[in-house]
Copies of this chain bind each other. A is one copy, B any other.
Amino acid sequence: MSYLNKIMSPRSVAVIGASNKEHTIGSDIMKRLVEYGFTGKIFPINPKDSEIQGMTAYPSVLEVPEEIDMAVIVINAKYVLSAVDQCHQKGIKGIVVISAGFKETGGAGAELEAKLVNKVREYGMTCVGPNCLGVVNTDPKFRLDACFAESLPVRGDIGFVSQSGALGGGILNILQDLNLGFAQFISIGNQADVNADSAIEYWENVDDVKQILLYMESIADPKRFRALASRTSKKKPIIALKAGRSAAGASAASSHTGSLAGADKAADALLKQSGVIREFSLQDLFNTAKVFSHCPIPNGNRVAIVTNSGGPGIMATDAVCEHGMEIAHLSDQTKEALRSFLPAAASVKNPVDMIASAPLEHYKKTLETVLADDGVDMVVVIYLPFLGLKDIDVAKAVMEIRAAHPDKPIVGVFMTKNEFFAHLSETEVNVPFFMFAEQAVEGLARLNQQRLWRERTDTPAPRYSVDTETVEAVFKQAAADNRVQLTTGESLQVLAAYGVRVCRDGEAKDADEAVALANKIGYPVVMKLNSKKISHKTDVGGVRVGIKDADQLRAEFADLVNKLTEKGLMDGFEGVIIQEMVKSDREMVCGCAKDPQYGQMMMFGLGGVFVEVMKDVTFRLAPLTVEDASDMIHSVKAYKLLAGARGAVPAQINKVEETLLRLSQLVEDFAFIDELDINPLMISGKDGEPIAVDGRIKFNATEALVALSIA
């Protein structure tokens, strides 16, 4: 069980390492607690001084005569463990270890951190840090600022988790300027115990936190994150900035908080499946938070634009279209109403251009009229300064109207001086104001994304009845042979056992066997090299298609053997696979790869020779929900090919979906599978059925031996 509530909402706090020495963390933390007006009791702990900042100090927590909910530890790393022991003796359940010198310093520090974690687990404590900035709760009931950032916190609705202490501090410094405040802040540091998951779980039911912001460089436990975030994100938006996405960035990340960075594709899939809104820059993160702070979730994606200048109206229109939202069609009634008071030169179509002469009254009436239109879900109001109309007056009018219409999001684009925004930052606002149209529209796009996520209900994939025995037998045989890769034949056998439609085929050791088999399958056939050593068959001429009869088959077989012999590639030769020749002009690819951190990740997209060139593929973590599978299929460009572009037979989309779900079940059941490829997954030109024509499976032999109990 988590004692985060003791940490975030304590009635009493001990500061272990409180100090009278200026410019030390032990002094700063004490000052902050006092200055911000912590409503509970503060117990400075210091073995030397008996009074710190006017308060009685105690040599250890054990001497404190009252109960302590939470301890902030700021002493040298080497004394931290014994301090934790004392906390335990005192019955303290929540600790925040600000001290550095743990995992981030490597070797000995990592060992120390391991010991700290063991103690925390053994004592049943909850621990934030180590190597962190601290925690903040702006709830007036607590007013806890146990954090050594430069600025005092500003009250707002954000729950904010930062993996980087430094960056977290930087962000707290500028939040106020950006018109944003937060409810709670947790600097998770090395996330030895408390991580983003714990915060999400805790905040799910904290009403004070209306939206959750995450700065992450790694995700500690992807499975748990998915489970918790996908539930919480239905109630309140979760917005994440995940850094370290380039290979170079990732390597910089590993030398940072002492954490391993995972593949960015996997992180992206995880965030998508968890309903987390991903941002790629701090600025976007803040803009989105600003919009969620002041806007309801809309009922649709139709945007109206009200402006006093054409240019920004066009730019907003461009942005609306680019984000896949709609420019609202105003009703005739709305247009007539607008026409009744706007000048002739104004445009009453969306975007509504009231022209530069628009007085305050026009802003008000136009907004009211547009908001009343049932065809409008969201509104962008644009203001450029003209003819003495003051920005702040327009802003006030917009905010009054917003208050009277709580159901529809309104965002402001005020292309005016910084002082306007500086002024706003000292004011209570109920509308997000931006300087540029693109920022405002991107905010609306995020609201719309949250709407779509809320409307989505994920259905767990059905458990298909499959033939696990065959699969086990195949892996056992391969493991017994000391192989980590299945042959093509074995791979297709495994897929077939899991109900994937594979093309009819069989193995043949020599030309006679090949002909017998082809006669059974029916011509034309494909002949493929079957080798334990060669994985990219095409590269060695190992795939022959469109073989029409027995004579041709014999000739091709002889030719293949000759070629391989010439190249010295006969080692591992097992004969050939004879396959039914599937008539198709559409080749897809699907498969699974295991990321060391995120686990098994499914892939789907355009296959054949285009896979690595076009990179028209998408990823989701296994296990897939029904919606995940459907999402994957619909999110690649090649979906149009499946749907039947240019008169082609439409693919059986439900069968493609089922193929993905069956694969997902396969890799879940056999978690030691490292890589799986169906390439191509051909779409039959006859009836659109997806047919696995080639397959490759690689696995982890050690894990397999354990899992299959044949060690």
Which residues of A are in contact with B by a Cβ distance under 8 Å?
Answer: 23, 105, 150, 163-164, 166-167, 169-171, 173-174, 177, 215, 217, 243-249, 252-253, 255-257, 280-283, 308-315, 317-318, 320-322, 327, 345, 347, 349, 351, 353, 356, 384-388, 415-418, 421-422, 425, 435-439, 536, 538-539, 585, 606, 609-610, 612-616, 637-638, 640-641, 645-648
Contacts and interface: CB of A to CB of B under 8 A. Distances in A.
Given A177-B418, A538-B647, 18 more contacts: A23-B387, A23-B388, A150-B385, A164-B311, A167-B311, A167-B415, A169-B385, A174-B418, A243-B318, A244-B318, A245-B318, A246-B321, A248-B321, A256-B310, A281-B438, A536-B646, A585-B609, A613-B637
Nearest to A150: B385
A609 B249 contact: no
A4 to B, nearest CB: 23
Contacts of A315: 243, 249, 281-282
17 contacts: A166-B384, A174-B435, A243-B311, A246-B321, A247-B314, A247-B318, A247-B321, A249-B318, A252-B317, A256-B310, A256-B314, A257-B310, A281-B436, A538-B646, A539-B646, A609-B646, A614-B616
A315 to B, nearest CB: 5
Per assembly, the copies of the chain total: 2
B422 A386 contact: no
Contacts of A615: 637
A111 to B, nearest CB: 18
A177 B281 contact: no
Nearest to A387: B23
B310 A280 contact: no
A439 B283 contact: yes
A283 B436 CA distance: 7
Contacts of A247: 314, 317-318, 321
Contacts of A606: 614
Contact of A637 (B177, B322, B614): B614
Nearest to A643: B613
A252 to B, nearest CB: 5
Nearest to A606: B614
B174 A416 contact: yes
A348 to B, nearest CB: 11
Contacts of A310: 164, 166-167, 252-253, 255-257
Contacts of A416: 170, 173-174
A167 B246 contact: no
A384 B171 CA distance: 9
Nearest to A351: B252
Nearest to A168: B311
Closest 6 CB pairs of A and B: A167-B311, A164-B311, A166-B309, A246-B321, A256-B310, A249-B318
A536 B647 CA distance: 11
B167 A609 contact: no
A315 B281 CA distance: 8
Nearest to A149: B385
A386 B164 CA distance: 14
B283 A435 contact: yes
Given A217-B311, A248-B327, A641-B613, A438 B283 contact: yes
Contacts of A613: 637-638, 640-641, 645
Contacts of A345: 105
A417 B309 contact: no
A280 to B, nearest CB: 7
Contacts of A164: 309-311
Contacts of A281: 315, 436-438
A479 to B, nearest CB: 31
B252 A313 contact: yes
A309 B173 contact: no
A185 to B, nearest CB: 15
A317 B439 contact: no
Contacts of A386: 150, 166, 169
